[in-house]
């Protein structure tokens, strides 16, 4: 069955270039993966997903080409986008943001918004192209049919006023009687289209950022009784969101 095959994620624009017989060109990376890593030869079966909910069976023709086993407009599997959409707005952290991207994809986040905050500290240059590659690899590995959207890094101040109609949680600490994210999720009504969770940088949110979030209507929550590392908070929060969505389906 195709769901048990190794998967390649090929964007829709490249899938559209498939020939009438379903033939398509493999990228150098995918060619290396199939022939060098997996040691596949001609006739070997694998699966192709386009990142927007479609899956086909395919077979390897040679080192550079493969062929779909279903017509392009008749995929083997079609899956609607998950609802509610889960959005993780995560402060870029010094060393672990690659891990945050990978884990967010594996845990089912549908959109990742890298945040630049007052206390953001990074080593070297930001690497959004690398993050996109990591996201695609993680989607292939965990067999997602939908590739999450990965925004460009942007200032927190530009994000706080977005999606006021969505449910928006603000993960924070050191405030009295903060509800747990899990508790707030259990109280949500059905029919929500989008849920946001914002997680801060090393050193936490600044007082001004906390005040701005409150003024924009973000709902403050805690992720547990201990102070978490920034990357750990992102993973913990994403796990809570994904588990809640799965249990509410």
Question: 């240059």: which residue's tokens?
Answer: 125
pLDDT, tens only, 36-94: 999 999 999 999 999 999 999 999 999 999 999 999 999 999 999 999 999 999 999 88
**Is the model's pLDDT at 142 over the cut of 70?**
yes
Q: How far is CA 1 from the centre of its chain?
A: 26
Looking at per-residue confidence, does 235 or 126 come out higher?
A: 235
**Is the model's pLDDT at 202 over the cut of 90?**
no
Counting residues of the chain whose pLDDT is more than 90, the rounded percentage is 78
Residue 123: predicted pLDDT:
61
Domain ranges of the chain: 2-78, 85-248
Given pLDDT bands bounded at 50, 70 and 90, which one contains residue 195? very high
Asked if 2-78 and 85-248 have one fold, the answer is no
Looking at per-residue confidence, does 20 or 76 come out higher?
A: 76
pTM over 0.85: yes
**Is the model's pLDDT at 134 over the cut of 70?**
yes
Q: What are phi and psi of 11, to 5 degrees?
A: -60, 155
Distances (CA, A) of 22 to 15, 60, 69, 127, 197: 9, 12, 7, 35, 41
Read off the pLDDT of each residue in 131-143 and give the average, rounded to a whole number. Answer: 94
Residue 248: predicted pLDDT:
85
Q: Do 66 and 24 meet the contact criterion of CB atoms below 8 Å apart?
A: yes
38 forms bridges with which residues in the sheet?
A: none
Residue 3: predicted pLDDT:
42
Q: What mean pLDDT value characterizes the chain? A: 92
**Is the model's pLDDT at 181 over the cut of 70?**
yes
Closest CA to 198 of 224, 160, 226: 160
**Is the model's pLDDT at 220 over the cut of 80?**
yes
Q: Does domain 85-248 have CATH number 3.40.1280.10?
A: yes
Given pLDDT bands bounded at 50, 70 and 90, which one contains residue 140? very high
Closest CA to 81 of 53, 112, 109: 53
Residue 1: predicted pLDDT:
39
Contacts of 174 (CB under 8 A, 6+ apart): 204
Look at the domain 2-78 and name its fold.
Ribosomal Protein L25; Chain P (2.40.240)
Residue 2: predicted pLDDT:
41
- In a 10 Å sphere around its CB, with 0-12 CB exposed, 13-18 middle and 19+ buried, how is residue 47 labelled? buried
Read off the pLDDT of each residue in 179-184 and give the average, rounded to a whole number. Answer: 94
CA angle, 179 then 82 then 232, to 5°: 45
């Amino acid at each position: 069955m195709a769901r048990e095959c190794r998967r390649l994620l090929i964007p829709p624009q490249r899938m559209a270039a498939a020939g009438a017989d379903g033939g398509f060109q493999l990228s150098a990376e995918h060619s290396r993966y199939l022939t060098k890593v997996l040691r596949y030869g001609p006739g070997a079966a694998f699966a192709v997903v386009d990142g927007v909910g479609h899956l086909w069976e395919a077979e390897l023709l040679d080192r550079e080409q493969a062929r779909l086993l279903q017509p392009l407009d008749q995929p083997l599997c079609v899956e609607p986008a998950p609802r509610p959409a889960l959005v993780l707005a995560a402060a870029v952290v010094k060393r672990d943001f690659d891990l945050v991207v990978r884990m967010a994809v594996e845990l089912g986040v549908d959109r990742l918004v890298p945040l630049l905050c007052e206390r953001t500290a990074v080593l070297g240059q930001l690497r959004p192209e690398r993050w996109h590659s990591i996201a695609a690899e993680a989607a292939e590995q965990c067999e997602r049919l939908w590739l999450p959207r990965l925004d460009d890094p942007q200032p927190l101040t530009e994000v706080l006023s977005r999606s006021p109609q969505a449910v928006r949680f603000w993960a924070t600490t050191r405030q009295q009687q903060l509800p747990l994210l899990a508790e707030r999720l259990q109280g949500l009504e059905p029919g929500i289209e989008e849920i946001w969770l914002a997680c801060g940088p090393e050193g936490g949110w600044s007082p001004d950022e906390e005040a701005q979030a409150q003024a924009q209507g973000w709902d403050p929550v805690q992720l547990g009784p201990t102070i978490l590392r920034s990357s750990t908070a992102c993973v913990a929060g994403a796990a809570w969101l994904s588990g809640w969505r799965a249990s509410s389906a």
